[in-house]
Structure 1
Amino acid sequence: MVPHLITALTGPINELEARILDSLPAIERWFRLEWMEHTPPIYSAVDLRNAGFKLAPVDTNLFPGGFASLTPEMLPLAVQAAMAAIEKICPEAKNLLLVPETNLRSTFYLTNVQRLVRIFTQAGLNVRLGSLDPALKAPTTLRLPDGSELVLEPLERSQRRLGLKNFDPCTILLNNDLSEGRPKVLEGLHEQYLLPPLHAGWNLRRKSRHFQSYEEVAKKYAKLLGMDPWLIHPMFAHCGEVDVGADAGLDCVKTHADALLGKVRRKYKEYGINEKPFVVIKADNGPSELGIVTVRDAKELDAVCERAREKAAAGGALLSDVIIQEGVPTYERMNDAVAEPVVYMIDRYVVGGFYRVHAQRGIDENLNAPGASFVPLAFADSHQLPRPGERPGASAPNRFYMYGVIGRLAMLAASYELEATDPDAEVYE
């Protein structure tokens, strides 16, 4: 199912779809050549926004927690992708240690873990769960809504390896974004593969660095297709060390927000888009007390900061690096509720996705919030079988293929990002 687009199905988004379909062989060859030079993340999820005049990623998650929201029909694709990833990383592997989040009270997240266990088990691995919670001293059984169970065990660390009692894995799969810091138990594992790597965690990772890499990828891809990279790229700026409670760095945010709004206005004028642009301001390294703020005029930041100071008075920490990102509205709807597509990938393959739907949010707001629901995308049936020659906007497989292409561009950008930020990489002068 493709949601209803309330914008007219003519203009840049359909030109983009037609151009992508016409260039399919060149696109797939281009991706193949890129993957000969770069290593994809073990898995990733990309939030897209379809504005009708523009399709762009707005967030890339390297520790996706929504595998339970994918349609069951995606399992064959996911298992094959997991097999391909493991064959490259550790062909002789028989054991995989999955390390989830420490807060396991959410049945939705537990079902995500259950789905990951199933995928990698069917890929031919013995999968067990290890907890980063130092308070866990013995195996603990977790019960899921469908009556099944997961067993969470305490980690055991030797000098060079990490495992469980009587379980020595070749590969450790993190499904914990490390936003609370980097545990020492994960450091110095020279004889095991830790995926994603430690520097992918939110304790070190920065969104601005990712979108810098994405800009590079988008320009290469746009050159291949002979198109404007802005149609697939959200412009952005970055400010460091912004203390909203003390006005420190606020001038930087205002200046960049004003300049970015000016750039977007010029693009809107170029494409005849009769809308008022906006920018989104958020922490550069994941969630923060500031939250995600939408502004259409830099002057609005004064009111935003006043609200933030009230949070600070209640004990909130407001010192943060900040990314100012071009706002991309979403004009997709499911049953009159605002929706956005999310693309899921394992290794370099698109394996599925879903629409994030929120009835209480607007087209310019963050949908990844309490109250959101999820409608699976049937990628397993359709995204790899587009139908060139059909009228743009008329075919679900064609729209899904386009989503998959943009999702893979963001995944490629993540590989650029991880290579550039790898603390163990050799640097040549």
Structure 2
Amino acid sequence: MVPRLNTAFSGPLLEIERCFLDAMPEIERWLRGQWQEHTPPFYGSVDLRNSGFKLAPVDMNLFPGGFNNLDASFLPLCVQAAVTLIDRICPDAKRLLLIPENHTRNLFYLQNVAQLAAILRLTGLEVRLGSLLPEIDKPTPIELPDGTTLLLEPLVRSRYRLGLAGFEPCAVLLNNDLSAGIPQILQNLHEQVVLPPLHAGWAVRRKSNHFAAYDEVAGDFARLVGIDPWRINPYFSVCDSVNFHERQGEECLAANVDAVLELIREKYKQYGIEEPPYVVVKADAGTYGMGVMTVKDAAQVTGLNRRQRNKMSVIKEGLAVSQVIIQEGVYSDEVVGSGKQEGVAEPVVYMIDRFVVGGFYRVHSGRGRDENLNAPGMHFERLAFETSCSLPDQCQDPDAAPNRFYTYGVVARLAQLAASLELERTAPVEEQVSCA
């Protein structure tokens, strides 16, 4: 299923898709060369927005939580990518400790954990789940809606290693984004590989660092294929020392909103786009669609009411927002369904290592094409990608399913490459750890 593109500007996007198809050998060679120089994250998911005249990533998650939303047909791709990754990192690995989020009541999330564990077990690993929750003080089974059971176990820490009672893992895989900070029990594991690394968590990570790296990657890639990098890259700016409750930083925020909007206006004028430009103001750290607002005029950020300030002031785990990213808004003109069931859609592409392993559409019938779709009321179209994102067909039109999905996959891999650069540049100086 390919959602229809509700836009008068589909022509320019077809030019991007056609360009990617024509340059496919060069693109694949270039990416292969990049992966020889940079180590990809263990896994990741990228939120894309397709406006017809622009296709760009707007968020990059290094602890993806939607493997249960992938269609079963993607399972072989997931397992193959995971095998390749494990062979490179630790070919002798036998046991892996998976640490999930503390969402023991969120059964949808736990189904993601179960699916992730199943993928890893198919690589030949013994996988068990360790919980950071203090109330998990004994093995605790949790019944899932599909009739399966997930077993959470209490963590056991020795001097430099982490495991479970009677279980010494070769490596630790986090599916917890560490928004609340890095727990002491995860620190100084000098004898184990921890993936993704601790500085990939939101206690340290900032979206602005990622998009600064993506700006560099997109520029290099655009020169390779001969396109304007803006067509795949959102403008952005950052404001520090913001306090929405105290109305601190409003001047900085308004000035940066104005500056980014002006850059977008110039591009819209260049391409003859008549849509009103907008930006998305969001917390520079954190996920779950919290601390996000759409802005079309700087005056909107200087007169926030109490409800708006409360919404923007905290994110996941109740953490206060002190730094925001002002990101160019990209209209989402893909639509799923019809009539009352019609909803704005955005593709979400999943990767393991450097490989695209699947994807789905996030759909929201109650949100507009210029709004955040990662909000209550959204749903996922699991059967969205009928073909792999890695198998274009030059005998078909540029917007045929395999070709549009290939284009998605290319841009998603650019975001994954940017995450590699981001993690390299923000890594603390630490002793190298080998698997054991």
State TM-score, norm by structure 2: 0.94
Find the counterpart in structure 1 of residue 220 from structure 2: 220
User: 1:11 is paired with a residue of what secondary structure?
Assistant: helix
User: 1:173 is paired with a residue of what secondary structure?
Assistant: strand
**Distance (Å, rounded) in 2 between the aligned partners of 1:300 and 1:313:** 16
Retained in 2: the 8 A contact 1:77–1:380?
Answer: no
Retained in 1: the 8 A contact 2:279–2:329?
Answer: yes
**Distance (Å, rounded) in 1 between the aligned partners of 2:214 and 2:351:** 16
| 1:389-415 alpha-carbon deviations (Å, 9 max, x no partner) | 43222x100000000001100010000
Find the counterpart in structure 1 of residue 254 from structure 2: 254
Find the counterpart in structure 1 of residue 420 from structure 2: 415
Retained in 1: the 8 A contact 2:43–2:62?
Answer: yes
**Distance (Å, rounded) in 2 between the aligned partners of 1:302 and 1:374:** 35
**Distance (Å, rounded) in 2 between the aligned partners of 1:322 and 1:293:** 11
Find the counterpart in structure 2 of residue 382 from structure 1: 388
Retained in 1: the 8 A contact 2:3–2:335?
Answer: yes
Q: How much does 1:65 deviate?
A: 0.4
* Structure 1 segment 90-129 matched on structure 2, within 5 A: 90-129=90-129
Find the counterpart in structure 1 of residue 336 from structure 2: 334
**Distance (Å, rounded) in 2 between the aligned partners of 1:362 and 1:217:** 30
Corresponding letter in the other structure for 2:415: A
Find the counterpart in structure 2 of residue 175 from structure 1: 175
1:360 to 358, 366, 388: 366
Q: How much does 1:349 deviate?
A: 0.4
Over 3 Å counting, the alpha-carbon distance change for 1:317 and 1:89 in structure 2 is: closer
**Which stretches in structure 2 are left out of the alignment for 5+ residues?**
432-436
**Distance (Å, rounded) in 2 between the aligned partners of 1:413 and 1:313:** 28
Q: How many residues align?
A: 424
**Distance (Å, rounded) in 2 between the aligned partners of 1:287 and 1:353:** 18
**Distance (Å, rounded) in 2 between the aligned partners of 1:312 and 1:353:** 29
**Distance (Å, rounded) in 1 between the aligned partners of 2:251 and 2:212:** 22
Q: How much does 1:190 deviate?
A: 1.3
| 1:135-155 alpha-carbon deviations (Å, 9 max, x no partner) | 221100011111111111000
User: 1:242 is paired with a residue of what secondary structure?
Assistant: coil
**Distance (Å, rounded) in 2 between the aligned partners of 1:163 and 1:224:** 46
**Distance (Å, rounded) in 2 between the aligned partners of 1:311 and 1:337:** 24
Corresponding letter in the other structure for 2:274: N
Q: How much does 1:103 deviate?
A: 1.9
| 1:73-93 alpha-carbon deviations (Å, 9 max, x no partner) | 000000000101111111100
**Distance (Å, rounded) in 2 between the aligned partners of 1:128 and 1:332:** 39
| 1:48-101 alpha-carbon deviations (Å, 9 max, x no partner) | 000000000000000000000000000000000010111111110000100001
| 1:144-195 alpha-carbon deviations (Å, 9 max, x no partner) | 1111111110001111111111111111110000001101111111111100
| 1:200-233 alpha-carbon deviations (Å, 9 max, x no partner) | 0001100000000000100010010111100000
**Distance (Å, rounded) in 1 between the aligned partners of 2:319 and 2:151:** 36
**Distance (Å, rounded) in 2 between the aligned partners of 1:392 and 1:351:** 21
Find the counterpart in structure 2 of residue 209 from structure 1: 209
Corresponding letter in the other structure for 1:329: Y
Retained in 1: the 8 A contact 2:358–2:388?
Answer: no
Q: How much does 1:303 deviate?
A: 3.2
Corresponding letter in the other structure for 1:222: A
Q: How much does 1:379 deviate?
A: 4.7
User: 1:246 is paired with a residue of what secondary structure?
Assistant: coil
Percentage of matched positions with identical amino acids: 57
Retained in 2: the 8 A contact 1:241–1:319?
Answer: no
Corresponding letter in the other structure for 2:358: G
* Structure 1 segment 21-420 matched on structure 2, within 5 A: 21-287=21-287, 291-304=291-304, 306-309=306-309, 318-335=320-337, 336-377=342-383, 379=385, 381-393=387-399, 395-420=400-425
| 1:284-329 alpha-carbon deviations (Å, 9 max, x no partner) | 0115997211111101113335434466999x87541010000001
Retained in 2: the 8 A contact 1:352–1:380?
Answer: no
Over 3 Å counting, the alpha-carbon distance change for 1:259 and 1:49 in structure 2 is: same
| 1:342-387 alpha-carbon deviations (Å, 9 max, x no partner) | 0000011000000000000000111111111101256573322211
Greater Cα offset, 50-59 or 364-373 = 364-373
User: 1:381 is paired with a residue of what secondary structure?
Assistant: coil
**Which stretches in structure 1 are left out of the alignment for 5+ residues?**
none
Find the counterpart in structure 1 of residue 434 from structure 2: none
**Distance (Å, rounded) in 2 between the aligned partners of 1:39 and 1:135:** 36
**Distance (Å, rounded) in 2 between the aligned partners of 1:157 and 1:183:** 12
**Distance (Å, rounded) in 2 between the aligned partners of 1:334 and 1:423:** 44
Corresponding letter in the other structure for 1:405: V
Retained in 1: the 8 A contact 2:2–2:385?
Answer: no
Find the counterpart in structure 2 of residue 424 from structure 1: 429
User: 1:345 is paired with a residue of what secondary structure?
Assistant: strand
**Distance (Å, rounded) in 2 between the aligned partners of 1:280 and 1:161:** 42
Over 3 Å counting, the alpha-carbon distance change for 1:264 and 1:372 in structure 2 is: same
Retained in 2: the 8 A contact 1:289–1:318?
Answer: no
**Distance (Å, rounded) in 2 between the aligned partners of 1:365 and 1:193:** 39
Retained in 2: the 8 A contact 1:94–1:125?
Answer: yes
**Distance (Å, rounded) in 2 between the aligned partners of 1:196 and 1:85:** 13
Greater Cα offset, 367-376 or 8-17 = 8-17
User: 2:323 is paired with a residue of what secondary structure?
Assistant: strand
